[in-house]
Amino acid sequence: MLLELASTADSSNMDDEWRILHEQTNAPQSKNILRSYCYRSECETDFDVDLGDIQFPIFCKPVLLERHIGIDQGTNNFGIVVVERNIGSYPNIVAANNYTDLNLKKNFKAADVLVALTEKTDLLKWMNPETDSHLVDRVIVHLEQISIRNKNSKQFSMALGKLLQQQALDTERCIVKMSQPHIHRATGPVFHLGKEIVEALQLQPAVQQRSRAESNPAVQQHADDCEYSDVEPSDEATTRHSESAEYRKKKKMSSDIFRYIMKATDVQLQQMKLTVEKTVQDYWCQIIDSASSVKLDDVGDALLHAVDELLCGSTNFKQLVPEAPSVLVNRTVAVAVSRHNVLDCA
């Protein structure tokens, strides 16, 4: 510090520096800025972390175009909806399908579901960030979190999610995660689509489940409508027992929302801040017009799972990792930026 305080500027060649400044035709640039620009043009990462003989990037390039895949699982109906979001534009529904021909055997496993999805659906194609003309920076697969009271919850949830994550060539560009089941609550995506759809369909948020104290068997409360409100029926034999009034209300809500969006005009889509590919909208409009009782609740649930994070935001980022994870899939960083906070800071 004493040496720094005692130092003096070197002004021996001030005349030459002044002459060089007069001879320059371009404004001088900071060497630090030039060095940073050149570095970023060569590499997408800020810097690497060395941990013994392992090296991995600590920062990757920002995501400008993202694809969200919502999945609603079931033995008879498997809904898959694909939504893409570009910075500065509304979420765009690019695909929506309800698959009814998976033909799963009686005691199927997660591997059987993966084989059926590979052979009879386009899921793995959409999980590829570089699918045909749909090129995105990152893909996030939202797998419905099924209640453990469903006998197929293991095959349809964690086990299937880990198998799907293994299909991704780059685990940083394709992320499989569980989606919370509370998409019909007051804080869910249903009530972030605008007041017009809420008023038109007279939507009401789903009731809260019982607390842990209330659900304790010692309390001896047997309210079937609350107990089974979040349970997907396992098969036709248990449908009557599992489908409570609250469950049926949720399924009807999902069906009505999907029907409304597919039949929406440009003005209505603008109010919901959504867009729909014309081929997708025409396809479902034809199906809806041909059969008024067509089953839409599964694709409706899948759509809500796909837009949940886009409309509501989320910091509950839990990626499903394969059975033998590498260092690249064991790191998750989530950054949430609130528009209101930015305005307040400004």
CA distances from 60 to 87, 167, 204 (A): 17, 21, 41
As given in the structure block, the two tokens for residue 205 are 């948020």
Residue 223's pLDDT is 39
Cα 308 off chain centre by: 7
Residue 34 lies in a domain: no
Question: Residue written as tokens 């400008």?
Answer: 64
Does pLDDT of 256 surpass 50?
Answer: yes
Question: Among 162-166, 219-223, 336-340, which stretch is predicted with the lowest mean pLDDT?
Answer: 219-223
As given in the structure block, the two tokens for residue 165 are 């994550």
As given in the structure block, the two tokens for residue 147 are 């209640």
pLDDT band at 122 (very low <50, low <70, confident <90, very high): very high
As given in the structure block, the two tokens for residue 203 are 């939507």
Residue 71's pLDDT is 95
Share of the chain above pLDDT 90, in %: 36
Residue 82 lies in a domain: yes
Q: Do residues 329 and 319 lie in contact, with contact meaning Cβ atoms separated by under 8 Å?
A: yes
Q: Do residues 181 and 144 lie in contact, with contact meaning Cβ atoms separated by under 8 Å?
A: yes
Residue 49 lies in a domain: no
Residue 76 lies in a domain: yes
DSSP 146-171: --TTSTTHHHHTHHHHHHHHHT-S-T
Q: Do residues 183 and 302 lie in contact, with contact meaning Cβ atoms separated by under 8 Å?
A: no
| Pairing between β-strand 275-276 and β-strand 92-99 as defined by DSSP bridges | parallel
**Mean of the pLDDT values across residues 80-85?**
95
CATH number of the domain to which 179 belongs: 3.30.420
Spatial separation of the C-alpha atoms in residues 9 and 6, rounded to whole Å = 10
| Number of domains within the chain | 1
As given in the structure block, the two tokens for residue 173 are 């560009």
Residue 127's pLDDT is 93
Does pLDDT of 239 surpass 80?
Answer: no
Residue 9 lies in a domain: no
| Pairing between β-strand 174-179 and β-strand 78-86 as defined by DSSP bridges | unpaired
- Helices 278-290, 245-262: inter-axial angle, 10-degree rounding: 120
pLDDT in tens, 108-120: 999 999 999 999 9
pLDDT in tens, 179-232: 888 889 888 898 999 999 999 999 988 876 554 544 555 444 443 434 344 445
Residue 340 lies in a domain: no
For CA atoms 19, 23, 25, 28, give the dihedral sign.
negative
Q: Which parts of the chain fold into alpha helices (H)?
A: 2-6, 14-23, 31-42, 110-120, 123-127, 153-156, 158-166, 195-201, 224-227, 236-242, 245-262, 266-272, 278-290, 297-312, 339-345
Q: What residues make up the domain containing 184?
A: 65-329
Q: Please tell me the pTM assigned to this model.
A: 0.69
